[in-house]
Amino acid sequence: MFKPITWVKKDPEKNNVFWPSDELKKRAWVSDESIYAEATKDPVAFWTKLASEGINWFKKWDETYRWEPPYYKWFVNGKLNVSYNALDRHMKSWIRNKAAIIWEPEPPDEKERVLTYFDLYREVNKFANVLKGLGVKKGDRVGIYLPMIPEVQIAMLACARIGAIHNVVFSAFSGKSLQERMLDAEAKVLVTADGYYRRGKQINLKAEADRGVEGTPIQKVVVVKRTGMDVNMVEGRDQWWHELMKNAGNYCKPEVMESEDILFILYTSGTTGKPKGVEHHTGGYAVQAYWTTKWDFDLRDEDVFWCTADIGWITGHTYSCYGPLMCGVTMLEYESSPDYPQPDRWWSIIEKYGVTVFYTAPTAIRMFMQWGEEWPKKHNLNSLRILGTVGEPINEEAWLWYFYKIGGGRCPIIDTWWQTETGGTLINALPGIGPFIPTVAGRSFPGTLHDILDESGNPVPVGEGGYLVQKPPFAPGMLRDIWRNPERYKEYFSAYGEKFYYTSDGARRWDKLGDIRLTGRVDDVMKVAGHRLSTAELENAITSHEAVVECAVVASPHEIKGEVPIAFVTLKGGVEPSDELVKDLMKHVDATIGPTARPHRTIFTEELPKTRSGKIMRRILKSLVRDEPIGDTTTLMNPESVERLKKLVG
């Protein structure tokens, strides 16, 4: 292994503040501080330049930014195709023969798969023809319910190629969750697999997919043979991927898409019981995905980039698919568990492929901390150059462990704040500029503007906390609507009026440079092991169990997962609480949402604290599980319930 370079240096004045080393500054795409001021002076002009330089357009746009509150458009009348940008344009250069995806299967004795950009191009073209053959047209919705196998990127890019709107559903979500999303999106075709590996076991995904298709408009199901396990195939509806691909033509002309045509819908949790279909549109999303990938991770031709996010989440869409591929980068993809066969699997993968840039979640870092530093120590991780985190606030201890034990004290940590709604990263330090400070994400990406407001809408001073908002011009990759639910879209622009996109995140202004510390969600959305879950969705799931009358779910802090759901459950008369019932409730949650949503603790209670109008006071339950002062209980209909609950919570 080559001699590792020290990419960061310690601030001589402040402990645990780091800056890029001269080597990093020299190498980085961006290392001149003035980029922030230049971009802020005229963000629209800034993005115009980035859009022209980063993306191949079939036709240039007429108008860069149009704002008709609460809607905005970018690159109006520009024409492009994202699969063309991820593939075709690389066919004319040496990148054609470079590894696009290195795929590591979970079974350690199974061989890896390497797809060059040309391989990926050919497969995407073929699958685009398959989709067309199944009757999929521009604007149709295609469900994708696949594990982390290269077919997932192939399917997404094939949709993008023909202008179909993909709707990827996390493969660990239940069939019922899939069904809900397919119904809302009115999907025509579903792409799934027989199964996948999880900690050495074969998981039957097809059985869940069958449940998910029931009662939806899906007419055709394409099934990837991943494990070869025995699955049910429905005559006339289900077809094997490999059989359809055998006769598919190897070129499919990319559809000419309008910049504001929908590229994909991705469902995410909000504060109500129903997930919302966040819409991302073609041109703006492509521009933000391309430039944030390139600049945040400072990617070069020789890099091997590994983003561990599952494709079912926005991080997977932007940084395990579109961003790296548009940048022509070699991307690593791993099928499954970090601790199989041993807790050093990830580190062994980094060593095996010489991963240079690694992007993961704080919850994973904390899990590895718990397993012990002996596991990463077994491996030579000197290839690493840049480390990234995303998904939730990172605590100082985890940041420092990641920095020293994984990065060897040499690699900057790029803590990226963003959301499903924002399409790409928005607040983080840039590798060539810094500073890198534990728990502080950094500054707004050049050309984007954020503020932190108090309850009345006044910006807070340095050192103070408030609510994070984005100011116009809204970043190009931001959501354009909520699928068939404009009312929910409008909510983002209602808290502080149409001039502010409200993030629902708490934040603190860190310093005069503009650095921001994010402090977590301020609404009823939890981040459990980095996964976004709605308390209302979980409450609906639990309440739909036959033994339950009423339920309230609140998030409680957790050492490894960041937050975990605690369920307060009132049972029907005559039903006794028992361990068996708890198990049954878990099974019910698995089947309704998926195992990621399982309550960490279920507390049975005869009554919940309520206002006189009958509303459950979640604020009180939250304080109870966090061991915080309860505050005013005078508005409660049943204040005595609080004392009883205190004893139950313990």
Residues in the site for ligand AMP, rule: CB under 6 A? 268, 313-314, 390-393, 415-420, 441, 503, 505, 518, 520-521, 527, 532
Bridge partners (DSSP) listed for residue 521: 505
* Alpha carbon distance 170, 228 (integer Å): 21
Distance of CA 336 to the CA centre of its chain: 16
CB of 442 to ligand AMP, least distance (A): 9
- In this complex, which beta carbon is closest to ligand AMP, that of residue 277 or of residue 609? 277
Distance of CA 30 to the CA centre of its chain: 25
CB of 435 to ligand AMP, least distance (A): 16
Kindly give, in sequence order, each residue whose CB lies less than 8 Å from that of residue 324, ignoring residues fewer than 6 positions away: 293, 299, 305, 307, 331
- In this complex, which beta carbon is closest to ligand AMP, that of residue 213 or of residue 597? 597
CB of 561 to ligand AMP, least distance (A): 13
CB of 396 to ligand AMP, least distance (A): 13
- In this complex, which beta carbon is closest to ligand AMP, that of residue 385 or of residue 508? 508
CB of 280 to ligand AMP, least distance (A): 12
* Alpha carbon distance 183, 163 (integer Å): 20
Kindly give, in sequence order, each residue whose CB lies less than 8 Å from that of residue 492, ignoring residues fewer than 6 positions away: 70, 421, 479, 501, 502
Residue pair 86/325 in contact (Cβ under 8 Å)? The answer is yes
CB of 144 to ligand AMP, least distance (A): 18
- H runs (alpha helix) in 322-425: 323-327, 345-353, 362-371, 374-377, 396-401
Residue pair 181/149 in contact (Cβ under 8 Å)? The answer is no
- In this complex, which beta carbon is closest to ligand AMP, that of residue 207 or of residue 369? 369
Q: Which DSSP string corresponds to 211-260?
A: HHHTTSS--EEEEE-SS-------TTTEEEHHHHHHT--S--PPP-EETT
- In this complex, which beta carbon is closest to ligand AMP, that of residue 522 or of residue 616? 522
Element (H, E) at 291: helix 282-296
**Angle between the 579-592 and 175-185 helix axes, to the nearest 10 degrees?**
30
Q: Dihedral of the CA atoms 277, 283, 287, 289 (nearest 10)?
A: 30
CB of 328 to ligand AMP, least distance (A): 25
- In this complex, which beta carbon is closest to ligand AMP, that of residue 140 or of residue 524? 524
- In this complex, which beta carbon is closest to ligand AMP, that of residue 153 or of residue 269? 269
- In this complex, which beta carbon is closest to ligand AMP, that of residue 179 or of residue 419? 419
- In this complex, which beta carbon is closest to ligand AMP, that of residue 503 or of residue 596? 503
Bridge partners (DSSP) listed for residue 127: none
Count of Cβ atoms closer than 10 Å to residue 147 Cβ: 26
CB of 417 to ligand AMP, least distance (A): 4
- In this complex, which beta carbon is closest to ligand AMP, that of residue 158 or of residue 437? 437
- In this complex, which beta carbon is closest to ligand AMP, that of residue 129 or of residue 293? 293
Residue pair 192/491 in contact (Cβ under 8 Å)? The answer is no
Burial of 150 (0-12, 13-18, 19+ CB in 10 A): buried
Burial of 234 (0-12, 13-18, 19+ CB in 10 A): exposed
* Alpha carbon distance 269, 528 (integer Å): 12
Residue with tokens 């023909």: 162
Kindly give, in sequence order, each residue whose CB lies less than 8 Å from that of residue 202, ignoring residues fewer than 6 positions away: 195, 196, 227, 229
* Alpha carbon distance 53, 29 (integer Å): 14
CB of 438 to ligand AMP, least distance (A): 12
CB of 476 to ligand AMP, least distance (A): 18
- In this complex, which beta carbon is closest to ligand AMP, that of residue 163 or of residue 393? 393
Spell 88-98 as b/e; 16+ CB within 10 A means b.
bebeeeebbeb
CB of 325 to ligand AMP, least distance (A): 20
- In this complex, which beta carbon is closest to ligand AMP, that of residue 144 or of residue 533? 533
* Alpha carbon distance 236, 386 (integer Å): 49
CB of 308 to ligand AMP, least distance (A): 14
- In this complex, which beta carbon is closest to ligand AMP, that of residue 106 or of residue 392? 392
Radius of gyration of the chain (CA): 24
CB of 83 to ligand AMP, least distance (A): 24
* Alpha carbon distance 439, 399 (integer Å): 7
Residue pair 551/539 in contact (Cβ under 8 Å)? The answer is yes
CB of 45 to ligand AMP, least distance (A): 28
- In this complex, which beta carbon is closest to ligand AMP, that of residue 104 or of residue 296? 296
CB of 532 to ligand AMP, least distance (A): 3
Residue pair 605/569 in contact (Cβ under 8 Å)? The answer is yes
